[in-house]
């Protein structure tokens, strides 16, 4: 049973989220502000965080920034604003998904399940599922990405993008087809949202001198030779 941390200063929203998630079989814990959220996160090690953007004391983007210093736990942002710049900012900071209030509890549950499916899974008893391409390797069971043996910490969505590219190294993926592979539910994702995920993914590899993704202008993305 996955444990979900719900962070929102509105008790009515927390009630809606808790009811929907518990009904779907999840365990939930709650925080009403950013300070409490960080304390609970450190103590309870949740499997996913449903995080409101606007919070007292510390807002959701600052909480995400702090958590991303040493954790890749999936984060689903909630916001009352439907501005694309807000969505892009949340994803640039390392969020895995973004849902605008008011939202359907059914969609919330679907999004949570989709993000968790992209996250760590229990390793199987059989041979490890490894994808390799030049210096790049993905361990699908452990959800680990490595370049020449050096691990690169990725969010669930970033890992899903890289897994999709590695499944067919010679294929050029449009933005839509790339995110179809990374997401497990039907949803509309803007070009800027997709580019934000890819930009963060590239930056993490560039920090160790690697460049696993090529851009084909006007067409999309493909896996680089990874030498």
- 68 and 164 assigned to the same domain: no
More confident residue, 204 or 86: 204
Count of domains in the chain? 2
- Average of per-residue pLDDT across 138-153: 88
Is 169 a member of any domain? Answer: yes
Question: pTM for this structure?
Answer: 0.61
pLDDT of residue 191: 56
pLDDT band at 170 (very low <50, low <70, confident <90, very high): confident
Residues 191 and 179: their CA atoms lie apart, in Å, by 10
At 16, the pLDDT band (50, 70, 90 cuts) reads very high
19 and 47 in a single domain? The answer is: yes
Q: Is residue 124 part of a domain?
A: no
**What average pLDDT does the segment 170-181 reach?**
82
177 part of a folded domain? yes
| Mean predicted confidence (pLDDT) in 212-219 | 90
User: Domain check: are 166 and 99 in the same one?
Assistant: no
CATH number at residue 21: 3.40.50.2300
The least confident of 32-46, 55-69, 183-197 is: 183-197
Does position 56 have pLDDT exceeding 70, yes or no? yes
Domain assignment of residue 123, yes or no: no
Q: Are residues 45 and 150 in the same domain?
A: no
CB 38 within 8 A of CB 58: yes
Q: Is residue 185 part of a domain?
A: yes
Burial class from Cβ neighbours inside 10 Å (0-12, 13-18, 19+) for residue 134 reads middle
pLDDT at 107: 93
Last residue of a domain, one of 93, 118, 143: 118
Q: CATH number of the domain that 198 lies in?
A: 1.10.10.10
Does any domain span residue 90?
yes
Q: Are residues 60 and 167 in the same domain?
A: no
Q: In terms of residue numbers, what domain contains 52?
A: 3-118
Is 125 inside a domain boundary? Answer: no
CA distances from 61 to 5, 78, 82, 87, 196 (A): 16, 11, 15, 11, 15
Q: How far is CA 24 from CA 21, 116, 137, 186, 220, in A?
A: 5, 13, 34, 19, 36
Q: In this structure, what token pair is assigned to residue 96? A: 């895995």
What does the alpha-carbon distance between residue 165 and residue 193 come to, in Å, rounded to a whole number? 17
């Amino acid at each position: 049973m996955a444990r979900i941390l719900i962070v929102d200063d509105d008790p009515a929203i927390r009630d809606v989220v808790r009811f929907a998630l518990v009904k779907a079989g999840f365990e939930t814990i709650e925080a009403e502000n950013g300070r409490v959220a960080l304390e609970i996160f450190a103590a309870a090690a949740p499997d996913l965080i449903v995080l409101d953007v606007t919070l007292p004391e510390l807002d959701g983007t600052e909480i995400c920034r702090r958590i991303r210093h040493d954790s890749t736990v999936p984060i689903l942002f909630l916001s009352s604003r439907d501005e694309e710049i807000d969505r892009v900012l949340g994803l640039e900071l390392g969020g895995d998904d973004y849902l605008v209030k008011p939202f359907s509890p059914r969609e919330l549950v679907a999004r949570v399940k989709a993000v968790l499916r992209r996250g760590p899974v229990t390793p199987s008893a059989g041979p490890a599922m490894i994808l390799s391409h030049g210096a790049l390797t993905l361990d699908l069971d452990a959800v680990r990405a490595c370049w020449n043996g050096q691990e690169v910490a990725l969010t669930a969505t970033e890992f899903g993008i890289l897994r999709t590219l590695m499944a067919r190294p010679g294929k050029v993926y449009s933005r839509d087809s790339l995110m179809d592979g990374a997401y497990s539910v039907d949803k509309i994702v803007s070009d800027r949202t997709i580019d934000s995920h890819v930009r963060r993914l590239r930056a993490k590899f560039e920090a160790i001198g690697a460049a696993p993704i090529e851009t084909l202008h006007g067409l999309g993305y493909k896996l680089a030779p990874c030498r």
